[in-house]
């Protein structure tokens, strides 16, 4: 597969061009087939279901299940990748512009053998295995040293970009650090230089004191609606212990993350009738590992509003819902 990257001279941001992704299969929908029937436990046409291994390019990593299945999670190359390690990382000039091949990694994390078992419906120990799979593959790629950052994310629903219904997440590791990540790291560095404290650590401390935007918490993680939430019912899941990169999460903390993530997804589903959403693990670049001013976190972003002309023209987002009201709604939702 061939892809390329071009840099926007006005912003410094890179754009990926991967035309082959237009050939991806589409099975939009959450929990139902297009005809409204409930999804089967195994779909003979799904490449991620057991028995269809011949449809996978290869299996990079596999972790066993706690129950009867031989495996629970698998990591496989994306069949329609945005980036590939087969390319080189050299940058070239094209007139006044900068261009490079689409170097990097694009992988799929199959979360469970069951075709019909969404992440919010899995037992917590299964979700913990998903987190463990994220961590192992993240660590493997970072330790290779060929990419500066690993981005883990999940799309749920057609508005969020889902193309296959089988429960899965994705990993993309580009050969560059995106501009907005550099800016986030710079802001945190400036705050630390001024106050001698981590910015996210202070945000977390403030939210725990105020309580108004808290959603749920345990001994290792806290979930809250951020003060300046960009969309309705957005949530951040933040580790209590300062950690610059996702790779620094301790094994004992992964169970805590699984429990809070499960809690948040259940509250979101029950409050809003299973909305489309994305979640992303925001982590530092490889060369920033261990920095005291950085703090990774998970952003859960429901797809409830669509940016219009003002948002595109101004770069500002309009949120029709107050974060304090959203947090109160989510706190009041039963998760049993």
Q: Mind listing the pLDDT tens digit for each residue in 17-36?
A: 987 766 665 554 445 544 45
Q: What pLDDT is attached to residue 67? A: 63
pLDDT band, residue 69 (cuts 50/70/90): low
Q: What pLDDT is attached to residue 22? A: 60
Q: Which of 21-25, 277-281, 283-287 has the lowest mean pLDDT?
A: 21-25
CATH superfamily for 198-331 is HIT-like (3.30.428.10)
Number of helices (H) and strands (E), helices first, in the chain?
A: 6, 14
> What are the domain boundaries of the chain?
4-176, 198-331
pTM, full prediction: 0.93
Give the mean model confidence (pLDDT) for residues 165-188: 95
Q: What pLDDT is attached to residue 87? A: 82
CA 10/CA 14 separation, integer angstroms: 11
Nearest 10 degrees: Cα torsion 262, 275, 173, 186: -90
**C-alpha distances out from residue 126 to 68, 205, 269, Å:** 12, 30, 18
**C-alpha distances out from residue 182 to 178, 189, 284, 319, 331, Å:** 7, 10, 9, 25, 33
Domain at 4-176: CATH code: 3.30.428.10
> Do strands 97-101 and 91-94 pair parallel, antiparallel, or not at all (unpaired)?
antiparallel
Q: 121: number of CA atoms within 13 Å, CB side? A: 10
Helix axes 323-331, 251-272, angle to 10 degrees: 100
Instruction: Compute how many other C-beta atoms are within 10 angstroms of the C-beta atom of residue 175.
Output: 23
- Residue 259: name the closest of 213, 300, 219, 200 by CA: 219
The alpha carbon of 333 is separated from its chain's Cα centroid by a whole number of angstroms, namely: 24
Q: Mind listing the pLDDT tens digit for each residue in 86-143?
A: 888 889 999 999 999 999 999 999 999 999 999 999 999 999 999 999 999 999 999 9
Instruction: Give me the DSSP letters along 249-294.
Output: --HHHHHHHHHHHHHHHHHHHHHHTS--EEEEEE---GGGTT-TT-
Q: Do domains 4-176 and 198-331 have the same CATH topology?
A: yes
């Amino acid at each position: 597969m061939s892809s390329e990257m071009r840099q926007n001279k006005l912003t410094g941001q890179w754009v990926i061009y991967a035309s082959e992704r237009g050939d991806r299969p589409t099975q939009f929908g959450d929990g139902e087939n297009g005809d409204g029937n409930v999804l089967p436990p195994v779909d003979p046409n799904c490449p991620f279901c057991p028995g269809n291994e011949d449809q996978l390019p290869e299996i990079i990593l596999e972790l066993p299940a706690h129950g009867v299945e031989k495996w629970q999670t698998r990591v496989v190359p994306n069949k329609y990748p945005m980036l590939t390690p087969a390319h080189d990382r050299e940058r070239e000039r094209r007139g006044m512009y900068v261009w490079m091949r689409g170097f990097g990694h694009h992988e799929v994390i199959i979360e469970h053998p069951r075709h019909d078992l969404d992440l919010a419906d899995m037992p917590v120990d299964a979700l913990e295995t998903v987190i463990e799979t994220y961590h192992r593959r993240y660590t493997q790629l970072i330790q290779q040293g060929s990419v500066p950052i690993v981005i883990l994310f999940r799309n749920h629903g057609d508005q969020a970009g889902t193309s296959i219904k089988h429960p899965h997440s994705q990993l993309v590791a580009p050969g560059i650090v995106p501009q907005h990540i550099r800016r986030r790291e710079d802001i945190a560095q400036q705050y630390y230089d001024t106050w001698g404290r981590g910015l996210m650590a202070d945000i977390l401390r403030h939210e725990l004191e105020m309580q108004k935007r808290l959603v749920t918490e345990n001994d290792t993680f806290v979930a809250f609606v951020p003060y300046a939430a960009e969309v309705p019912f957005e949530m951040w899941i933040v580790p209590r212990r300062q950690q610059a990169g996702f790779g620094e999460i301790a094994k004992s903390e992964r169970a805590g993350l699984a429990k809070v993530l499960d809690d948040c997804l259940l509250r979101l589903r029950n409050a809003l009738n299973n909305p489309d959403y994305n979640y992303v693990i925001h982590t530092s670049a490889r060369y920033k590992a261990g920095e005291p001013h950085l703090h990774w976190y998970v952003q859960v972003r429901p797809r409830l509003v669509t940016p219009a002309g003002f948002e595109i023209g101004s770069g500002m987002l309009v949120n029709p819902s107050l974060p304090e009201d959203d947090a109160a709604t989510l706190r009041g939702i039963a998760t049993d």
